[in-house]
Structure formats: structure tokens, C-alpha cells
Amino acid sequence: MGLPDIIIEFSKKAVTAIQNGSIGIVGIMLKDAKNKGAMVLRSVDEIPTGDSAFSAENTAYIERAFIGSPSKVIIYTMDTTAESYDEATKYFATQKVNYIVGAPDLTTEEATKLATWVKGIRKNSVRRPVAVLPKTAGDSRGVINFEVVNSSATNKIEVGEKQYTEAEYCSRIAGLLAGLDLRVSATYKPLTEVTAIPLVDSDEEVDTAIDAGKLTLYNDGERVVIARGVNSLTTVTEVETADLQKIKINAIQDQIEGDIYSTINKSYIGNYSNSYDNKCLLITAIKGYLRGLEATEGGKGWLKADSSTMEINVAKQKQYLESIGVDTSEMDEQAIKEANTGSHVFLKGTISILDAIEDVDIFINKD
């Protein structure tokens, strides 16, 4: 019955958002002699074996992604002679993935190109992939710079008797992140299979790495964990704010942006007259979606309770009206809200994304 369908769609999106946020999607770009093209795997049991098997190295790389329990792993395989990842990036530009990685033998040059590609995708489309790359200072919330402090060609991540580079372990990190519920962070999440990492002289070395935008590992004396769930963003602005350095915060914002974009494009644009009443119904739909993500009874716990707002952006609407020659000097705020804005809809809102408990300061007074 017309526009209220949008409200139903947003309600559906609120449910879908929790499912997608809890167990996300990993994209893997490989070079292999087998299984050219795209493949979707939903469990480790679906990894090809026998005559169709990937190389032993690539098979193990895919298996590590599934340790973290992502909802699925999308693989795009190129020929071993491929000189670039262009074929794979062209494919993944059309796919929804939460985290994406290159091959286990990814070079520094290739990682830098992938960082540039993912930043371009995030800037120029509604897709929000995040690349997990080895030793790549992307200065972007779309790039996770995975680097273990003091790692080298002879001092690597140890799993029993085997040693791995950061490039070989990017799929493990991506799978762990994709499998996290968005109410929690990656900070101090254990990699239970890792038996040792390069030694550090002091915790300050780890602190320095974190401050430099590196997702690194830390041995807390009992286990090896992710030191702090951060991405590579180091240059903070009014848009790229400090809280977006946290992988958890960024993931929630990405999810919300994606849900709102896709629903408006699918259910609203071109389908309804741009009247004031229809604008109000769209506002109601978005508000309902956001409130479904709040930390309230029946909510999802991503946003602070009662923090979400959405309304017509009066300042922008007034600016638009004046740009097309409308005299607004005699118009009050309500008149500006109800004015004809052609095909344009100007909205603004607020949300407050909840972080996870990570820094605790307790004072105990003894009698």
C-alpha cells in the first residue's frame, strides 16, 4: 500500500543487519592452477579435495579463514601466471564482502595496490569492504594493517613447529573479524592455535604499533591475542573521526550505511512523489531501523539507547531553495520543511555507536 512498505523493508533490514553483523563474509583472492573463477564456500568441509584441490598452501590459507566462523568465504582464483589482481578486484567490486584478503604470498607492491583499490571502492560506491593486508600503512578505516612487532624473515608467527608470515595469516585475521558479533570488539580475542610470536622488550613497543595504526598480536603471558582491534586510520578529521580507528565502530557504521543506502535505492528512489508527507514517512522508516539497533529491550545493542534521530536538514533545504531562486526570507522553518525540493531529499540524523569495554580503571580502598 505505497510508501509504508519502506518501513517494513527497514524492519527487515534491522533483522538482517544483526545476522550479517554477527557472522560476516570473507573474500579471498588466490592464484592457483585449479578452480579458476569464483567459488562460494560456507564451511571448511566444502573446500575442494582430490583432483580439484587447491595447492596445499592455498588450502591451508582457506582453512585458516574458517577458524573464525565467518558466514561464508568467497574465493576468486586467477591463474598462477597472473601479473596482477585486476581480474579478482573487478569481480569483488560487484560482491558484498566484509573483509577481503590477497593470496598467502602477497607482495608489498601487491598489498599497496589492493589498499588503493579498496579505498577507491569505499569512496566511489556503496560497498564497504575492509582489506586485511600485511605490513601496509593504508591510513584508512578500509585497510587493516596486520603487522606483528619485531617480525622478520626468520622470526614469525609460530603454530607448533610451523612458522607463518603476516601475509600467510591475513585470512585467519579476516575470518576472526568476520565471525565477531558487532556488540564485541576484536581486542584481546585469542588465536588459540598460535604458540609463539616474536618477543618484545616491553609493552611500549606494542603500544607504539597500535598508535601507528597496526593490528598486532600480544602475548599476555597465557595466550596470544589481538592487542587492540584497530584499523590503519591515523589521520583523524571531522569526518574520519578518532572512534573510526576501532574496527568494531567502523563495522557498525559500514553496516548502517550499507543498509540505508540499499533500502532507499531499492524501495524509494524513483518510486514515490517527493512530497513532504513522503519525506516524513521515509524519516519514520529510518528512525525505526536505527532504534532497532539500540541497546534497548528487543534492540540489537549496537547503538546507545534513545540516541538515534532523523529529520529534514533545514539548513541544506534552505540553501537548495535559494540556489534555485526561491526567496526564503519570509519562510519559517516549517515552510522550508514543506517546500518543493524537486527530486532532492535532504535529511540529517544522529547516532551513538557503542564501543566495547576495553580500558578499565578500578580504585579499591582497603580498610
Whole-Å CA distances, 16 to 21, 51, 258: 8, 38, 12
Instruction: State the average pLDDT over residues 97-118.
Output: 98
CB under 8 Å to 281, separation ≥6 — which residues?
3, 4, 6, 7
Reference 102, options 84, 121, 124, 125; nearest CA is 84
DSSP state of 353: B
Identify the pLDDT of residue 1: 46
307-363 tens-digit pLDDT: 999 999 999 999 999 999 999 999 999 999 999 999 999 999 999 999 998 888 888
Rounded to whole angstroms, the Cα distance separating 362 from 209 reads: 26
Task: Please check the confidence at residue 20 and state whether its pLDDT lies above 60.
Answer: no
Confidence of residue 211 (pLDDT cuts 50, 70, 90): very high
Rounded to whole angstroms, the Cα distance separating 182 from 300 reads: 9
Rounded to whole angstroms, the Cα distance separating 345 from 276 reads: 10
- Write down the residue that cell numbers 519525506 correspond to: 279
- Phi first, then psi, for residue 144 (nearest 5°) are -105, 120
Give the Cβ contact number of residue 60 at 10 Å: 16
Q: How far apart are the first and last CA of the chain?
A: 68
Q: Which residues of 198-227 are buried (b: 16+ CB within 10 A; e: fewer)?
A: bebeeeeebeebbeebbbbbbbeeeebbbb
Task: Please check the confidence at residue 158 and state whether its pLDDT lies above 70.
Answer: yes
Reference 220, options 178, 176, 187, 248; nearest CA is 187
Identify the pLDDT of residue 262: 85
Cell triple for 137: 600503512
55-91 tens-digit pLDDT: 999 999 999 999 999 999 999 999 999 999 999 999 9
> DSSP of 268-331, one letter per residue?
TTTTS---HHHHHHHHHHHHHHHHTTBSSTTS-SSB-TT--EEEE-HHHHHHHHHHTT---TT-
- Phi first, then psi, for residue 177 (nearest 5°) are -65, -40
Identify the pLDDT of residue 36: 97
% of the chain at pLDDT higher than 70 = 95
> DSSP of 316-352, one letter per residue?
HHHHHHHHTT---TT--HHHHHHS--TT---EEEE--
Calculated CA dihedral for residues 97, 99, 104, 106, nearest 10 degrees: 90
* 273 contacts 207 by C-beta, under 8 angstroms: no
Rounded to whole angstroms, the Cα distance separating 214 from 172 reads: 16
